[in-house]
């Protein structure tokens, strides 16, 4: 059998799926997003986005929620990654397992657990009231806070793993060298550990941001009807209003703005790093 | 020493939070009360027997299991073949093909779901089991390709050559040498595909009809209307089922290695 034939036969089945379920449908969706009610070419669906403050507001809310999620996963995830880097093999394995395993269980179920914990008659509110700390239940759910809590739980594993990977690569003798030269723990952290783990931070923040921007299930379950984000209104346009062109355009706008923001962010950080390198 | 303790404490709290949903769901599924409560009141199996009276959960559980099993077998087969071509032969465009195979991972599930709905409606398979299956195979292929490619990257092709030189038929070489050596990668690709399909909501959301609803989606829909201990009991069933596969995955391949390859989920 010739090499060419082998390659074709081996890759054809997967390629058929990719073409038929992914590439052609995406192209179709893109074309559809440029159609008006009479199926004529139009940019009205995208123009709506500039004209109608409603959509701008929704996009801004989506970005805001995603940024809070990035911050929360970073603040909570960084110490975990640091702990994993310092821990011995067995302990590291246990932590890895406990942080990754929940990730393989459906997000619907994890969100449900949080609803039980955070609800008005949930565990946290009942306990706080019983202890006499608060009188009225706190609103921890069906607002932006609820969505951020849910998303943080969903994506923290990615942040931890990204940072831990870059921490594993740090030579432990660097820490020793710093302390021999008289640097304090804090100084060592800011001069050695933090700069060397920066690639992991960049990878983690970018990934968590992109995932949060396009998350649908958590905002739908933990944000309720009051916190609508882009994926939720795109879904409504497709499945409820049946305005497919607008739904498609909203989904692409979301993807486009995510790509633009992530690119700007990585560019900004790179330029800053170059400046630092040249300044020293 | 003190620093490690602070880090350890934060780590402990984070691990507790990440696992909190399960620590709450499983006990509250045994409540004797008629409403959701944590800590649960009394003990009873009533919410488990109640599942049996809800055909929508039984049917969707069956659909989900069937869907996940067929997805796992087909995605693993297609992905493994493609990974073989990518690893064994050096050819022009192999880089592009590799990127293409992994590309469904980089596009949000939302867009995959919407675009599949649009196209499947034209083909007349929107809302059918076939449509759902095709979409689930698509989102599983990248994981299989990555896993098998990683397995193949450390594969020693001289072993195959030795087989041929000793006069073995290519099929026999594949069956007795290549396949056993790649088994961990292929098996974990299969389990991971199963879990990917079994957990999926965002893609399925656009492609199901009332009679092809999957279990996570049935829970999702039910949860938006009612929150009662029934959600807790059916969720506990799913958690237990998933745990079996997670433990298998850890045994066969190791979760940490696996997640090194992963970059997106929902």
Stretch A195-218: mean pLDDT: 94
Q: Residue A229 has what DSSP assignment?
A: -
pLDDT digit string (tens) for A7-64? Answer: 889 999 999 999 999 999 999 999 999 998 888 898 888 988 888 899 999 999 999 9
pLDDT digit string (tens) for A138-192? Answer: 889 999 999 999 999 999 999 999 999 899 888 888 888 888 888 888 888 888 8
Which pLDDT score is estimated for A277? 67
Q: Write the Ramachandran bin of A239: left for phi over 0, alpha for psi from -120 to 50, otherwise beta.
A: alpha
- C-alpha of A177 from chain center: 36
Q: What is the mean pLDDT of chain A?
A: 91
- The DSSP annotation for A143-168 comes to SHHHHHHHHHHHHHHHHHHHHHHHHH
| Cβ-Cβ contacts under 8 Å, A108 against chain B | 201, 216, 219-220, 223
Which pLDDT score is estimated for A111? 95
Q: Is pLDDT of B263 > 50? A: no
Q: Is pLDDT of B77 > 90? A: yes
Asked if A25's CB is within 8 angstroms of B199's CB, the reply is no
Confidence of residue B3 (pLDDT cuts 50, 70, 90): low
Instruction: Identify which of A99, A112, A238 has the shortest CB distance to residue B25.
Output: A112
pLDDT digit string (tens) for B111-120? Answer: 999 999 999 9
Distance CA B203, CA B218 (A): 14
- pTM for this prediction: 0.91
Distance CA A251, CA A246 (A): 9
Distance CA A174, CA B252 (A): 35
Which has the higher per-residue pLDDT, B122 or B226?
B122
Q: Write the Ramachandran bin of B228: left for phi over 0, alpha for psi from -120 to 50, otherwise beta.
A: beta
Q: Is pLDDT of B12 > 60? A: yes
Confidence of residue B260 (pLDDT cuts 50, 70, 90): low
Asked if B11's CB is within 8 angstroms of A83's CB, the reply is yes
Q: Which two tokens stand for residue B115?
A: 């675009």
Nearest CA among B237, B210, B238, B217 for reference residue B129:
B210
Stretch A82-87: mean pLDDT: 90
Which pLDDT score is estimated for A23? 96
Asked if B21's CB is within 8 angstroms of A153's CB, the reply is yes
Q: What is the mean pLDDT of chain B?
A: 89
Q: Taking a C-beta distance cutoff of 8 angstroms, is the pair A36, A42 a contact?
A: yes
Distance CA B185, CA B250 (A): 12
SS3 call for A184: coil
Distance CA B20, CA B94 (A): 44
Which of A104, A158, A212, A236 to substitute to test the interface with B, most B CBs within 10 Å? Answer: A104
Which pLDDT score is estimated for A49? 80
The complex's ipTM works out to: 0.90
Instruction: Identify which of B20, B24, B118 has the shortest CB distance to residue A244.
Output: B118
């Amino acid at each position: 059998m010739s090499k060419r034939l082998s390659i074709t036969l081996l890759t054809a089945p997967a390629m058929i799926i990719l073409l038929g379920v992914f590439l052609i449908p995406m192209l179709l969706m893109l074309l559809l997003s440029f159609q008006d009610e009479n199926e004529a070419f139009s940019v009205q669906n995208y123009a709506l986005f500039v004209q109608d403050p409603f959509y701008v507001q929704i996009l801004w809310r989506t970005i805001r929620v995603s940024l809070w999620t990035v911050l929360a996963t970073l603040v909570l995830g960084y110490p975990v990654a640091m702990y994993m880097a310092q821990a011995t093999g067995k302990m590291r394995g246990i932590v890895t397992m406990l942080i990754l395993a929940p990730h393989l269980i459906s997000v619907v179920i994890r969100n449900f657990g949080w609803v039980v914990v955070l609800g008005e008659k949930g565990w946290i509110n009942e306990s706080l009231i019983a202890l006499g700390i608060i009188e009225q239940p706190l609103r921890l759910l069906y607002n932006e806070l609820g969505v951020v809590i849910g998303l943080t739980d969903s994506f923290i594993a990615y942040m931890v793993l990204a940072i831990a990977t870059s921490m594993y690569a740090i030579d432990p003798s660097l820490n020793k060298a710093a302390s021999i030269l008289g640097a304090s723990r804090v100084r060592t952290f800011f001069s050695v550990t933090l700069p060397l783990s920066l690639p992991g931070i960049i990878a983690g923040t970018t990934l968590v941001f992109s995932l949060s921007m396009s998350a649908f299930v958590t905002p739908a379950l933990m944000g309720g009807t009051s916190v609508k984000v882009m994926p939720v209104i795109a879904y409504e346009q497709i499945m409820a209003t049946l305005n497919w062109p607008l739904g498609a355009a909203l989904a692409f706008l979301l993807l486009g703005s995510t790509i633009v923001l992530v690119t700007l962010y990585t560019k900004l950080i790179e330029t800053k790093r170059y400046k630092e390198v040249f300044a020293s | 020493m003190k620093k490690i303790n602070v880090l350890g404490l934060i780590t402990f709290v984070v691990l507790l939070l990440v696992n909190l949903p399960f620590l709450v769901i499983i006990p509250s599924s045994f409540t004797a009360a008629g409403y959701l409560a944590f800590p649960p009141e009394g003990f009873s199996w009533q919410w488990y027997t109640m599942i049996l009276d809800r055909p929508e959960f039984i049917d969707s559980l069956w659909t989900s299991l069937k869907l996940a099993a067929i997805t796992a077998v087909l995605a693993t087969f297609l992905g493994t073949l493609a990974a073989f071509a990518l690893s064994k032969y050096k050819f022009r465009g192999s880089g592009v093909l590799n990127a293409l195979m992994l590309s469904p991972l980089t596009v949000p599930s939302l867009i995959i779901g919407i675009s599949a709905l649009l196209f499947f409606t034209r083909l007349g398979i929107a809302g059918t089991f076939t449509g759902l299956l095709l979409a689930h195979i698509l989102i599983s292929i990248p994981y299989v390709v990555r896993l098998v490619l990683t397995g193949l990257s450390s594969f020693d092709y001289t072993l195959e050559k030795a087989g041929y030189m000793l006069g073995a038929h290519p099929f026999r070489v594949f069956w007795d040498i290549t396949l056993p050596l790649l088994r961990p990668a292929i098996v974990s690709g299969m389990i991971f595909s199963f879990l990917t399909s079994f957990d999926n909501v965002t893609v399925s959301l656009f492609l199901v009809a009332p009679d092809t609803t999957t279990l996570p989606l049935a829970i999702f829909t039910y949860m938006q209307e009612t929150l009662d201990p029934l959600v807790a009991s059916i969720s506990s069933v799913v958690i237990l089922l998933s745990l079996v596969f997670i433990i298998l995955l850890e045994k066969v391949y190791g979760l940490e290695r696996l997640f090194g390859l992963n970059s997106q989920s929902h």
